[in-house]
Amino acid sequence: MRIMSNNFHARAGMVYMMTNNEVMNQVVAFYMDLNGMLTFVGSYPTYGRGTGTKEVSTATANDGVDPLASQGALTLSRDGSFLLAVNAGSHSISSFTITERGVPLLVDVKPSGGAQPNSVNVFGNLLYVSNVGNAANNFASNITGFQIDNNGRLTPIPGSTHSLSNFNAQPAQVLFTPDGSKIVVSELTSNHLSVFHVNKNGTLTGPIVNDSYGQGPLGVYFLSSGILLVTEAVSNTLSSYSLSNDGILHVISGSVPNGYKTACWVVTTRDERFAYITNTLSGNISTYQIDPNGALSVVRHITSTPPGTPPGLPMDVGVSKDGRHFYTLNGNQGTISVFNIQDDGSLVRLQVAAWTNFPYLGSQGLAVL
């Protein structure tokens, strides 16, 4: 493990990515300076295994990019105290505490409650993980809950494991609503969005099964208002929904195309006026404008890596706490592209940061502190 120099300080922002290495999965940490630029800090083992370039199922192309087919494989708790990583190769999740200097310290590794976990989300002391399943159990997919204590240790919640809309629906993301009262799971292969009610004891009731407007729902993101954005990797589109208290989704903008391939990951600016969508196989990022009522329109596009350089295929995304910078993981390189966010939502490319001198395939997950 390499450690960086003394300019690393307590108030630093941080960006984390995950290698998904099949021998020993690792979290890679970068220091973010005041201009948003990244410097490699170190790599930290999860004491679990990833899948490497191997896909979690045969539903997606085995091209070494996006092997987990998910958003949220690496997730920070809302207060930034804990970092959670999935180990799809060893069917476990790893919990790290984050020190004042931004360094992740491993505190716990627990079985994920199923096979091949690929997304995790935290609300308060409640954590849920989605499990894809595997060939041995006919890809029995589920979501499973844990309590996370003040030290980051995980305790499985009895009776919290739930199937999705059908036995082998492949989950792509598990996500709490802004108030923590519900969970939404995007199902890549069944074209469903399953909604669960969260009970007081941390168990769930459901699912309420909603049809996805477009094909291949993958990334899901809630605005503070409760409006839900969903990328559609097969339709190459983005949809927006309102969510009623009974768990029914109502379409606001249905499958708005951007003209590129595999719209997979989504995040918004801090003011929630714009959404950034990575079109992985096209190597670019689309900016959508979000009206106050949740209606969507496409405004512009930018390549993840500079023209004339090896094209990066952007995947997982994040925005800095101060709202000034956007980050995306290039899955075919193991690099992170850094952008400045302008007032009109446009992106200005600043850097392509690397932790290794060689292209690295298989990495998955990005979290911005």
The 10s digit of each residue's pLDDT in 29-44 is 999 999 999 999 999 9
CA distance 322 to 62: 37
CA distance 252 to 293: 8
The residue segments making up the domain with residue 121 are 13-368
pLDDT along the chain (369 residues), means of 10: 40 90 98 96 98 91 90 97 98 97 97 98 98 94 98 98 96 98 98 98 98 98 98 97 98 97 97 98 98 98 97 98 97 97 97 94 97
pTM score, whole prediction: 0.96
Number of structural domains the chain divides into = 1
Query: Is there a domain that residue 3 lies in?
Result: no
Query: Is there a domain that residue 2 lies in?
Result: no
Residues in the chain: 369
Beta carbons within 10 angstroms of residue 43's beta carbon: 18
Residue 304 belongs to domain with CATH number: 2.130.10.10
Query: Is there a domain that residue 5 lies in?
Result: no
Query: Is there a domain that residue 6 lies in?
Result: no
For residue 229 the two structure tokens come to 């954005």
